[in-house]
Amino acid sequence: MNKPRRQKPDWLKVRFSAGPNYRRIDRYHREQGLHSVCRSAACPNQGECWSRGTATFMILGDVCTRGCSFCNVQDGHPLPVNAAEAQQVARAVAELELKHAVVTSVTRDDLADGGAAQFAALTRAIREQAPDCRIELLIPDLNGNWPALETILLAGPDILGHNIETVPRLYPLVRYGADYRRSLELLDRARRLAPAIPTKSGLMLGLGERREEVETVLADLREVGCALLTIGQYLAPTRQHHPVARYVAPQEFAALREAALKLGFDHVEAGPLVRSSYHAEEQFQESRDAQKR
């Protein structure tokens, strides 16, 4: 059933940028058959990020086994894992001369390791083909397979991300198959297994959460040692998706950023159009600087 759309406020209107770098990355995606979360998840920052020469690759296909009500990625039965994918994406990172590559995936509950072997293989391939490129992985919850998490961490990414997405009360409505405590445990175990690799998470606002619930999530993330955080506005991809409960004003994002920094996060990106990989390279540097202090 179609749901009525709320009128977007002025602060959510963006000017789409499509400079030479955008056209180069767009052409490369189409010619090489690569998937990116920029396009599959209808990210509002696609023009800005691609014009700056950065992109977030999505591996393990473009079909997810879950089908969360907030997400624009297609759900269903994925194809078998592409054995050549790691080398293909690593070659793209090298040829596009990226300095900070972000790699995420669809959720693959059909795989025993949740796709961990593919993340590890890609990390090693990027190290070989683009040794100067920083690697940020944004992984699913792996269905709580902790040996699979260790497989990913042993490959040595520079940042390990996993998005908490929303407050626990809303998980049954918007995060099919996910578990709030399992996601926190993943971040906690990652920090303990590889303390030199900063962990990162992301949170959406506008799904129907309350301010005190958001503050509890921030405290929970710091409790498990999460160092980097993004907070952005939820935007319903279509009328069939979970509706936007409200549009959060920029001032509220600013206040939450200050609250999160006071809790001890190394770096916080918060704003209506912020997404997980937004300004990812600056977040990495902030984390490194914080570790030196």
Alpha helices (H) along 61-141: 85-95, 116-129
Whether 43 and 76 have beta carbons less than 8 Å apart is answered as no
Give the range of the structural domain holding residue 118, as residue numbers without chain letter.
Answer: 14-292
Q: Which CATH number fits the domain that encloses residue 85?
A: 3.20.20.70
Whether 85 and 61 have beta carbons less than 8 Å apart is answered as no
pLDDT tens-digit readout, 194-235: 999 999 999 999 999 999 999 999 999 999 999 999 999 998
Whether residue 9 is contained in a domain is answered as: no
Whether residue 3 is contained in a domain is answered as: no
Whether residue 180 is contained in a domain is answered as: yes
Q: What contacts 6, CB < 8 A, 6 or more positions away?
A: 243, 244, 246, 247
pLDDT tens-digit readout, 84-132: 999 999 998 898 888 888 999 999 999 999 999 999 999 999 999 999 9
pLDDT at 36 over 60: no
| Closest by Cα among 241, 225, 226 to 6 | 241
Whether residue 2 is contained in a domain is answered as: no
